[in-house]
Amino acid sequence: MIKTILVPLLGDKLDESVLGFAYVAAAQFRSHIHVLHVGRNPVDDVLRLTTGDGFITREVWNEVERGIRRRRESARECFDRFCKARAIQVCDAPKAMSTPSASWQQVEGNLATEVGMQARFHDLTVVGRADDTSGFTPRELGDILVRSGRPMLIVSDTKAAPKAFETVAVGWKDTLEAAHMMTAAMPMLEAAKRVVVLIASEHSDASAYGQYAKRLTAELKWHGIEPEIRHLAPGAVPVAEALVDAANKAGADLLVLGGYGHSRAKELVFGGVTRYMLETANFPALIVH
């Protein structure tokens, strides 16, 4: 069951979309939405603006501080509008409620580190993927995914939040990450009206497809789910794009995937599908590492 949802707001144009998707999940599971704003340390921003001699002007420092303050105020205003529009009660402790609740917190520190650590204590984290001017960067998303070990819903403002996650597509690959993903996403799958499992073959031998389809169907039936199993044969299109295209054609509200990645020499290394979802895809994706 998804009872606590972490929603980091950056004070940019994606905040409303992120809150909208979080509310869909919260309404389905009567969850608490904890909104977090991480303010940058002015020194961090200033260091990126210094010249070779290491000096900055008072005007530059003041502008950095104004930018940090504007983002914080924008995030708070978005949170207040969100709660008012949906009549959401703001509270910091659990209460017997039949509707979602919400809380606000602001801290200062490193964005990915703070969000990643807090995400460990929530059932779901909802974040916005970066475009040119807003959202988390792919590197930040990857860092949060690895740090938290919890399901992360990545959204953009190109696809509006649905009324509910009624149709959920699942990208399956016979790996530990996919097995972990299936367990973590089970509340979403059980709540959905349709579950479409997409099995992508990386080679022409489709003999394993029937075996996976049979086992997945049997397992999901124990959870009261009658899945639709679809085989994505190898082709000219990369697997990641094929999965997103198939999810779109199935009318899915959400695509669930295992997050394939690890740290190597202090660098995050991700598989092709995970990297595509972090960097490029404009389809709501629930990723579990």
Q: Is the pLDDT of residue 268 over 50?
A: no
* Averaged pLDDT, 268-285: 73
**Poorest-pLDDT segment among 50-59, 139-148, 263-272:** 263-272
Residue of 250, 251, 253 whose CA lies nearest to 232: 250
**CB contact set of 268 (below 8 Å; sequence gap of 6+):** 139, 142, 143, 146, 261, 262
Q: What would the CATH number be for the domain defined by 167-288?
A: 3.40.50.620
- 237-253 core/surface letters (b: 16 or more CB in 10 A; e: else): eebbbbbbebbeebebb
Between the CA atoms of 216, 218, 223 and 224, what dihedral angle is there, to the nearest 10 degrees?
Answer: 110
Any idea what the Cα angle at residue 146 is, between residues 145 and 151, rounded to 5°?
Answer: 40
| Residues 21-77 pLDDT 10s | 999 999 999 999 999 999 876 665 555 555 555 566 777 767 777 878 899 999 999
Measure the CA–CA gap between 100 and 90, rounded to whole angstroms: 9
Q: How far is CA 186 from the centre of its chain?
A: 16
Averaged pLDDT score across all residues of the chain? 85
Domain spanning 4-155: which superfamily? HUPs (3.40.50.620)
Angle at alpha carbon of residue 198, lines to 196 and 200, rounded to 5°: 175
Between the two ends of the chain, the Cα-to-Cα distance in Å is 18
Stretch(es) of the chain classified as CATH 3.40.50.620: 4-155, 167-288
CB neighbours of 233 closer than 8 A, spacing ≥ 6?
Answer: 201, 204, 206
Better pLDDT: 149 or 208: 149
C-beta separation of 231 from 204 below 8 A: no
d(CA 114, CA 11): 16
Q: What is the pLDDT of residue 53?
A: 55
34: left (phi over 0), alpha (psi -120 to 50) or beta: beta
- How many angstroms separate the CA atoms of 55 and 47, rounded? 9
User: 268: how many CB neighbours lie within 10 A of its CB?
Assistant: 18
**pLDDT level of residue 5 (50, 70, 90 thresholds):** very high
